[in-house]
Amino acid sequence: MSTETRRFMRMLVFFDLPVVTKAERRAYTVFRRFLVNDGYDMIQFSVYGRILNGNDALEKHYKRLVDNLPPEGSVRCLSVTEKQFASMKLLVGLPLFQEKAIKANQMLLF
């Protein structure tokens, strides 16, 4: 795939899981660990995002997400282009380390 045809996207996962019983807390922990180990970054509490390279990767990671869903709760998935994600405005607070923009003169090519 050439660099001209690549379309970077973001997959955002929003979840609200019950944590009353010990089994529910365990399901929450297992799901959250899956997200972190699969390359998702925490954007806010219960909101995780992952950068993807095209629709093939989007479909692959969507299937992995579905295969690792917890038995209860609410989990939502939204995919947006990198341009749409970059237009998001931070209204209160400071950006996370992962969100800091990298300028062209900061990039190293090997």
Kindly give, in sequence order, each residue whose CB lies less than 8 Å from that of residue 12, ignoring residues fewer than 6 positions away.
43, 47, 48, 49, 77, 78, 79, 80
In a domain, 92, yes or no: yes
Query: What are 32-87's pLDDT values in tens digits?
Result: 999 999 999 999 999 999 999 999 999 999 999 999 999 999 999 999 998 898 88
- Look up residue 98 and give its DSSP letter: G
Looking at the structure of the chain, the number of domains it has is 1
- Confidence band of 97 (pLDDT split at 50, 70, 90): confident
- Parent domain of 84: 8-106
Q: Do β-strands 47-53 and 74-81 pair in parallel, antiparallel, or remain unpaired?
A: unpaired
Q: Check residue 57 and give its pLDDT.
A: 94
In a domain, 2, yes or no: no
CATH label of the domain that carries residue 19? 3.30.70.240
- Of the candidates 92, 75, 70, which has an alpha carbon nearest to the alpha carbon of residue 24? 70
Residue 88 has pLDDT above 50, yes or no: yes
